[in-house]
Structure 1
Amino acid sequence: MANQTPAQEQAAPQDRPKSRRVGALSGLLPFIRPYRALMWGAIAALTLTAFVSLLLPIAVRRVVDTFNADDVTLLNQYFAAALGIVALLALGTGARYYMVTRLGERVVADIRRALFDRMIGMSPSFFERIMTGEILSRLTTDTTLVLSVIGSSVSIALRNLLLLAGGLVLMLLTSGKLTGLVLLLVPMVIVPIVVMGRRLRVLSRESQDLIAASSANAAEALMAAQTVQSFTHERVSRAAFSDVTERAFDAARRRIGTRAIMTVIVIFLVFNGIVGVLWIGANDVRSGAMTAGVLVQFVIYAVMVAGAVGALSEIWGELQRAAGATERLMELLAAADAVEDPATPVALPRPVRGEVRFQDVTFRYPARPGIAALNGVTLDISPGETVALVGPSGAGKTTIIQLLQRFYDPSGGSITIDGVDLRDMARSDFRAALSMVPQEPVIFAASARENIRFGRPEATDAEVDEAARAAAAHDFLSALPRGYDTELGERGVLLSGGQRQRVAIARAILRDAPILLLDEATSALDAESERAVQAAVERLAEGRTTLIVAHRLATVKKADRIIVFDHGRIVDSGTHDALVARNGLYARLARLQFTEGSAAA
């Protein structure tokens, strides 16, 4: 395990519960239930096709037994009836295919939507336990398996079950003696299906887990392709991906081998039995104990039954894989989140004044339970006040921003906006009153205009342009090939770091929320752009409650109050001049920064 990548460790199959039973497919019922009419229509169509298929051997028997008859009309009638049966079979099969496939596509689309809806609202602590690449694998690979089952395997399985049951009954009516001989073979066929099916179930789940690990590994490396190349890590990354992919292939190879052996055994036993029964039946025809037509009818039913058993053994393997996939999907849909909205949320009072209060807040990140990110923090921020949070890296500044957005809940104490505890409100309600500029801005693979409009989807083009001007982004956006309508590429690859930062600031300006959160918002800007954006931020902060997290102390000098953090505690507060005069941590940080700045100049 020491050589495993984080992606491999995350998805190691031995850490996961294995697929227990095909009954796990019952988790799909809530998604199928809304389309009961389509489901019953498909069942009716497959029942019709199975019934018609069972009539064909009787028609063949009549034709065979009338080969030597003097009345040609009767023979023609039997042939016409056979053609009618075939036409009915074709229509029923077409109707079954349409309804079953449509049902499968509809259900899988609903599952994908439900899964995305669930995942997009999960708190960051959830994504500390599972990689995004694995979720994407479940959204794609696992739902594709479910589609193959609903859209094909289940209907084929039901049809073959009907053919098996009906064929056995009609075989018994055709010849009890030959049917008894055939039934002696059933235990010999069932035993390998059950025994090897258990092994197949485990291998199917292992294979899917490793495919998810492979996807997670690839997503992680490709999303950081520039970093991989900068550190000439390609060989190691390729080796890691190759390793997990080979392990996935090995699991798939073992699954395929087990299924192939099971198929060989079942088909060998079934058709050996048919040959033996056919030999006995041929002797009965020679002795006059039965007609040739009866034997042909029995053989056709026997072949149908054998084919149904063979198909069911193959479909059983598909159902095993789909059961594992369904379990994985249901695990995500039922995943518990550390942060949930209350059953009866309290509404944030409107208009929002923007009073923020942290009362004796203690917090530890789930991934680092031994380290207190905040320890007994009490902080009162008045409506319209601009407060800067400063301190060394890891002091707890960004944690304040994350807790205020309720990405996590504090382990002790409370956080309120306008006197209402965040845990008593719906997250979408109070987050609508927040506007955020993160340290690492997220740019979507959309146009520049749509990226800015992300802050307020209903905004007009004129409002977007005004926000871009206020963020000093208008000039470079206008210079793009299609101006504001230029696609910025995945993660904004067409823009520099500073330009991405200004687009994010324009997004926050457009949102026009009463509480503004700036987490190193100007860290990626050059001096000229920083001055322009700083002026825009100052205008934006007027009349709003503003929290500024900054390492560059020059950006916080004009704050109404500066809060100094160290090791998760507030160690000082005041204006810039007052803090410098005290000669504490803030003064030391200021001296280091301004001295380095002078030396660099």
Structure 2
Amino acid sequence: MTDVADSPARPARPARRGFGRRSPDDGPRASFRQLLPYLLEHRRVLVWVIVLSVLGAAASLGQPLLVNQVISRVQHGSTLGSIVWALVALVVIAGLISGYQHYLLQRTGEGVVLSSRRRLVARMLNLPIAQFDQRRTGDLVSRVGADTTALRAVLTQGLIDAVGGVLTFIGALIGMAIIDPVLLGLTVLVIGLSVVVVVALSSRIRVASRRAQEKVGDLTAAVERAISSVRTIRAAGATAHEVAAVDIDAEGAWEMGIQVARVSALVVPVAGIALQVSFLVVLGVGGYRVAAGDISVASLVTFIIFLFMLVMPLGNAFGAITSVNSALGALGRIEEIIALPGEDERDSRTASLADQRTDAPAIAFDNVTFAYPVSPQVSARVADLDAGAPTTNGEPALVLRNVSFEVPRGKRVALVGPSGAGKSTSLALIERFYDPTAGTIRLGGIDIAALPRDELRAQLGYVEQDAPALAGSLRDNLRLAAPDATDDACRAVLAAVNLGEVLGRSPLGLDAPVGEDGVMLSGGERQRLAIARALLAAPPILLLDESTSSLDGRNEQLMREAIDAVAEHRTLIVIAHRLSTVVDSDQIVVLDHGEVVGIGTHSELVATVPLYRELAKHQLLV
């Protein structure tokens, strides 16, 4: 069983808050400056897109001028000549430019999504283990999937296209000013009001979008939890209950999606209303001015075309505001993870393995004290409830207290004790999944905190209690820590742990899939595969956490023989609840409530440590 103390409390889900209010758990909001690096990675393509936007704007602005000439010549009975063909050419050119620009933007948008996913995954897989204890897997997956996808909209829904739109807007504005400043003043008044409305709503869009992405993260986490435990749920007859639980999260995501839709619904029609009102004003006032002889019919038609060209990029700009604010809400969640310090960034790197002393123990604990880090969410919840706290007087509860013991080189040392004693935590500290709260752990006389984690872990082979089989083939699982291992070596190590028959089940041999989470293997086979993976890497120190707990008597004996064979000239630290598997260890360390209560051989501990004697008596070993 996993140590109870080794499983830190899971953060409570935040309570629902009223829409539009800023709360501490809304998380950081991304700024446009944080978005720029993603865009600048593709600056060459974007420069070309901007050039196309300028050319497209020029082609569009030329069309009203040619229309003016066409109407004037018709009114005066002149021949049209090549003007019509020039107008057709501008329309075709503008269409081709728009299509190619759209392709480039879509392609660049996918590039932004790819680069953001690469950065996020690289950071995520290098986060300290404590971060994974405090966060839900489904929410992290949602950031890689849904949140990064939201960045595509920045490019595909108007931001870069707005650059050409600005030129069209300015060109149309100048053309309208030349034709009739009075009509332009009325148009600007209507459009100015619409801009004020959009700016006022933009901040609400960003907040709503971020909360919607968080709700999608909750939903993904709930689905991931249900799918990963589907067999347990079915066996417990809890399918309906889990469906209802997931439905609550789905409804939460729906509610926040509706909130985004409500705000967006206020923005989307603004451009349309501005166009309609402007058109009606220009048509009414312009018709009056034509009748009064202040402007010609050709000028009025040209003004109306410029009006459409003025409002269309304005609509694109409104769309860009909406899409950018939505993307910044998602980017805030992405940057929240990227901003976290990676595990490797905490390495002091002041020592190397060459500094090891041959006369020093392979592993030594020196007054090691440890408490699992408690997230702010957990602390706040504990303060509210004042019960069930994983803390003592406001401080995290200690899992290990002044633990000291040595593991001689080439020896086998067992850690035993009741559940929650701190055994698995001790191995996690050796692997530097966490660092001690106080005290020192040494490898060959070197403080492991001074070693780069990759160098340290290259010396260790670690088999977790519930070591997972990764989705993929047998070869993929075996070569995880030894990517250069040959197929013959893989077959040999499988035979050593009595997994040779697994190869015979499928004609694919080492390429045979093990299924998601190793579902095509039994529990004992998954455990043996994990041990085979560690043995294939052949590190000088092996850490085995309940490595034979899922095995029957025959396979346990074969496994012990395999471990004995590879343990020669290696150091082993073994955790076991079944004392029969460790009675022949060179040294046994007895832990209870995070403290060392005895160190010695089996016979010495039976005689001197009451807890060990009781454990041995219950297992009929005395």
Fold-level similarity (TM above 0.5): yes
Match runs of 1:77-476 below 5 Å: 77-336=82-341, 340-342=345-347, 344-349=349-354, 355-367=362-374, 368-369=390-391, 370-476=396-502
Going from structure 1 to structure 2, the CA distance change for 1:104 and 1:8 (only over 3 Å counts) comes to farther
Does residue 40 (structure 1) correspond to residue 44 (structure 2)? The answer is: no
The 8 Å contact of residues 356 and 445 in structure 2, kept in 1 or not, is answered as no
> Equivalents in 2 of 1:352, 1:113: separation in Å?
40
Distance 2:614 2:529 in 1: 33
Deviates more, 1:308-317 or 1:211-220: 308-317
**Which whole-Å deviations, capped at 9, do the CAs of 1:262-308 have from their partners, x for residues lacking one?**
33344224411221112111222233322222111110111121222
Q: Distance in 2 between matches of 1:140 and 1:124?
A: 21
CA contact (8 A) 2:274 2:311 kept: no
Give 1:432 shift: 0.9
Contact 1:434–1:514 (CA under 8 A) maintained in structure 2:
yes
**In structure 1, how many angstroms separate the alpha carbons of the residues matched to 2:92 and 2:588?**
84
Distance 1:352 1:428 in 2: 20
Alignment of 1:472-487 (within 5 A): 472-487=498-513
Task: State the secondary structure of the residue aligned to 2:81.
Answer: helix
> What 5-or-longer segments of structure 2 have no aligned partner?
1-8, 18-22, 375-389
Distance 2:604 2:12 in 1: 52
* Uncovered stretches (5+) of structure 1, i.e. residues with no partner: none
Separation (CA, whole Å) in 2 of partners of 1:560 and 1:528: 23
In structure 2, what is the Cα distance between the partners aligned to 1:585 and 1:272?
87
Aligned-partner Cα distance in 1 for 2:167–2:356? 66
Moved more, 209-218 or 36-45: 36-45
Question: Aligned to 1:458, what secondary structure does the other structure show?
Answer: coil
How many angstroms apart in 2 are the aligned matches of 1:246 and 1:143? Answer: 22
Corresponding residue SS for 1:289: coil
Per the alignment, residue 503 of structure 1 pairs with 529
Q: Distance in 2 between matches of 1:140 and 1:11?
A: 24
Would the alpha carbon gap of residues 67 and 437 (structure 1) be closer, same or farther in structure 2, given more than 3 Å must change? Answer: same
Report the CA distance between 1:7 and its aligned residue.
Answer: 8.5
Percent identity, please. 33
TM-score normalised by length of structure 1: 0.93
TM-score, normalised to structure 2, is: 0.90
User: Residues 11 and 399 (structure 1 numbering): CA distance in 2 closer, same or farther, change over 3 Å?
Assistant: farther
- In the TM superposition, what whole-angstrom CA distance separates every residue of 1:494-551 from its partner, at most 9, and x where no partner exists? 1100111111111011010001000000000011110001100111111111100110
Distance 2:120 2:263 in 1: 32
1:63 counterpart = 2:70: yes
Q: Give distance in 2, aligned partners of 1:419 and 1:342.
A: 18
| 1:347 Cα deviation after fit | 2.3
Distance in 2 (CA, whole Å) between partners of 1:252 and 1:411 is 43
Measured at CA, do residues 169 and 129 of structure 1 come closer, stay the same or move farther in structure 2, by a change above 3 Å?
A: farther
Shift of 1:562: 0.5
Contact 1:105 1:151 in 2 (8 A): no
Q: In the alignment, residue 568 of structure 2 is paired with which amino acid? A: E
8 Å Cα contact 2:597-2:609 kept in structure 1: no
| Further displaced range: 419-428 or 390-399 | 419-428
CA contact (8 A) 1:19 1:201 kept: no
Task: Summarize the Cα distance change of 1:585–1:344 in structure 2 as closer, same or farther, 3 Å threshold.
Answer: closer
Task: Supply the distance in 1 between the matched residues of 2:343 and 2:411 (Cα, whole angstroms).
Answer: 31
**1:86–1:8: structure 2 CA closer, same or farther, 3 Å change rule?**
farther
CA RMSD of aligned residues (A): 2.3
The answer to whether structure 1 residue 556 and structure 2 residue 591 are counterparts is: no
Residue of structure 2 in register with 1:529 after alignment = 555
Change (3 A) 1:482 1:12: farther
Distance 1:18 1:498, change over 3 A: closer
Q: How many residues are matched?
A: 588
For residues 212 and 352 of structure 1, the distance between their equivalents in structure 2, rounded to whole angstroms, comes to 49
Does the 8 A contact of 2:461 with 2:537 survive in 1?
A: yes
Match of 1:565 among 591, 613, 617: 591
Judge which range, 336-345 or 424-433, deviates more: 336-345
- Return the letter of the residue paired with 1:537: I
Aligned AA (2:26):
P
